[in-house]
């Protein structure tokens, strides 16, 4: 009798063919977004590391399909860019730049508040991301610390475009979208809005980073909405003395309830030119270096320890392509977009 056949040999990978999941070594989970989960992966041929966002097709609503199309058309140094996309019978996959510095929410929870110089640098780099997006007719609509990732050097990268909207200057969007605490008053007022909503959200983030608290609170979503619509911005007494007058002025100008005069907007707000000329940035930021990521970040993540919350995103050993979890459907809201 002949010898019994031995075990099958290792799988031969065709790296020249269509991109597939088995082209990557799947590693630990690092995040969970509104419509999908994210894992670190390594390309088996190039050894390059990426973040793999995967979404079950059953839950792949129109937002996710539009997000992929949007990311295919843009590339910016201050955005978490998409490098590949593919799908199988059950999932859609987006291969994104890997940011090992964690998100701002993680660092804010750890630090409570950030020194003013660090806040200024982050806000300055974020303004470059917003300017790029708005120039290309995109409003992000969900700016918050959770969606701002840091690379290992401390540069910021905006991510999660699943409720971003395409926009033509001069037209209004009417859909209610975003995370409530960061929504601009014109969204809540349901009167239509433009790109100025992103500058408002940046103001909320700057306030939160600088003070360790948010500018508006409410015991319910209704109360929070009323606070955003009607209350004035007041800096906490415990931190007001730690923040310069120029810093407070910039944040107040970003949190202008009138979108036409809000700092950063292209109408009476003066656009990015007025933003860069604000006294808070005037002598502290070299915009030429900052735009090409040659300016040194003030806050640099500690790369000797994990920059991800293990309780929110439990670490697991490497897995193969058959071991998938269905993404959750919790997250920001988006309703009824349209002109």
The residues near 333 (Cβ < 8 Å, ≥ 6 apart) are 163, 176, 177, 178
329 is catalytic: no
Count Cβ atoms below 10 Å from residue 296 Cβ, excluding itself: 12
The rounded radius of gyration (Å) of the Cα atoms in the chain is 22
Tokens read off for 127:
């303004």
Tokens read off for 17: 């063919």
* Cα–Cα distances in angstroms (integers) from residue 2 to residues 5, 6, 8, 66, in the given order: 9, 12, 17, 57
Please name which of 131, 134, 128 lies closest in space to residue 168, comparing C-alpha atoms.
134
Q: Check whether 53 is labelled as a binding-site residue.
A: yes
Please identify which of the residues 142, 146, 151, 198 carries the catalytic annotation.
142
Q: Chain-centre distance of CA 237, in angstroms?
A: 30
Using DSSP's 3-state secondary structure scheme, residue 87 falls into strand
> Distance (Å, rounded) from C-alpha 337 to C-alpha 282?
37
Residues annotated within the binding site are 53
- The residues annotated as belonging to the active site are 142
Positions at the binding site for ATP = 53
């Amino acid at each position: 009798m002949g010898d019994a056949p031995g075990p099958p040999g290792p799988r031969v990978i065709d790296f020249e063919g269509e991109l597939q999941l088995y082209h990557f070594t799947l590693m630990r989970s690092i995040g969970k977004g509104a419509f999908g989960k994210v894992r670190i992966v390594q390309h088996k041929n190039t050894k390059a590391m990426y973040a793999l966002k995967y979404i079950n097709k059953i839950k792949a609503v129109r937002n996710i399909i539009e997000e992929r199309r949007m990311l295919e058309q843009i590339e910016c140094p201050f955005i978490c860019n998409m490098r590949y996309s593919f799908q199988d019978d059950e999932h859609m996959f987006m291969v994104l730049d890997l940011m090992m510095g964690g998100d701002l929410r993680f660092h804010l929870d750890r630090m409570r508040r950030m020194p003013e110089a660090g806040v200024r640098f982050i806000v300055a780099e974020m303004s470059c991301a917003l300017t790029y997006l708005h120039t290309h007719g995109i409003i992000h609509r969900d700016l918050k610390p959770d969606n701002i990732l840091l690379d290992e050097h401390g540069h910021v990268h905006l991510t999660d475009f699943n409720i971003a909207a395409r926009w033509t200057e001069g037209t209004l969007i009417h859909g209610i979208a975003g995370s409530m605490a960061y929504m601009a008053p014109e969204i809540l007022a349901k009167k239509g809005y433009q790109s100025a909503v992103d500058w408002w959200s940046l103001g909320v983030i700057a306030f939160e980073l600088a003070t360790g608290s948010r500018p508006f609170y409410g015991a319910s979503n209704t109360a929070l909405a009323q606070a955003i619509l009607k209350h004035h911005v007041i800096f906490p007494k415990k931190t007001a003395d730690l923040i310069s007058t120029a810093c407070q002025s910039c944040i107040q100008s970003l949190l202008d309830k009138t979108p036409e005069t809000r700092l950063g907007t292209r109408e009476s707000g003066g656009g990015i030119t007025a933003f860069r000329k604000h006294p808070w940035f005037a002598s502290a930021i070299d915009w030429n270096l900052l735009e090409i990521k040659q300016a040194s970040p003030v806050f640099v993540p500690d790369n000797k320890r994990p920059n991800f919350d293990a309780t929110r995103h439990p670490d697991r050993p490497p897995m193969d392509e058959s071991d998938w979890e269905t993404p959750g459907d919790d997250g920001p809201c988006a309703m009824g977009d349209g002109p």
